[in-house]
């Protein structure tokens, strides 16, 4: 079974531009979560989508948005890029079993975004 895939793997943008990152979850997984990882802040939760609905949201400005499609694939968008948005963006998927106890989250390889 294929793992979580993220595209593109590397991206270089300039301040003020916008960017869209894509995540394809493991087949059959319905939940997709996004995280930002930086050396200073570590791993921080951005948002989670389940059945095309945002189920959880972290403390990020409105410039960060996302969506999920009917096939569970997800995209996140960052508008008006700032230097501080340079980070590794990780996507995770999980099956979502009733109760959540068994929900192992599987992460993709990430997209390395550099903002110049």
Residues near another protein, by CB under 8 A:
4, 31, 33, 35, 42-43, 45, 48, 50, 55-56, 58, 88, 90, 92, 94, 96, 99-110, 112
80 versus 103: smaller Cβ distance to another protein: 103
Q: 80, 16 in Cβ contact below 8 A?
A: yes
Triad 105, 110, 114: Cα angle to 5°: 145
Instruction: Read off the tokens for 101.
Output: 């106890």
Whole-number minimum distance, CB 71 to another protein, in Å? Answer: 19
Least separation in angstroms between CB 6 and another protein: 8
Provide, rounded to whole angstroms, the least separation between the CB of residue 47 and another protein.
Answer: 9
Task: Report the C-alpha gap between 74 and 22 in whole angstroms.
Answer: 6
Q: Which is nearer to another protein, 17 or 38 (CB)?
A: 38
Q: Which residue shows structure tokens 């968008």?
A: 77
Q: Which residues contact 98 (CB under 8 A, 6 or more apart)?
A: none
- The minimum distance between CB 36 and another protein, in angstroms, equals 11
């Amino acid at each position: 079974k294929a793992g979580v895939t993220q595209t593109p793997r590397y991206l270089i943008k300039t301040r003020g531009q916008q960017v869209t990152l894509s995540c394809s979850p493991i087949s059959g997984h319905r939940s997709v979560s996004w995280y930002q990882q930086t050396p200073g802040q570590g791993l921080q939760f951005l948002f989670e989508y389940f059945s095309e609905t945002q189920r959880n949201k972290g403390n990020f400005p409105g410039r960060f948005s996302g969506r999920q499609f009917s096939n569970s694939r997800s995209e996140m968008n960052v508008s008006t890029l700032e230097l501080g948005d340079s980070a590794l963006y990780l996507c995770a998927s999980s099956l979502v079993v009733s109760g959540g106890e068994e929900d192992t989250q599987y992460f993709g390889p990430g997209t390395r975004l550099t903002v110049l």
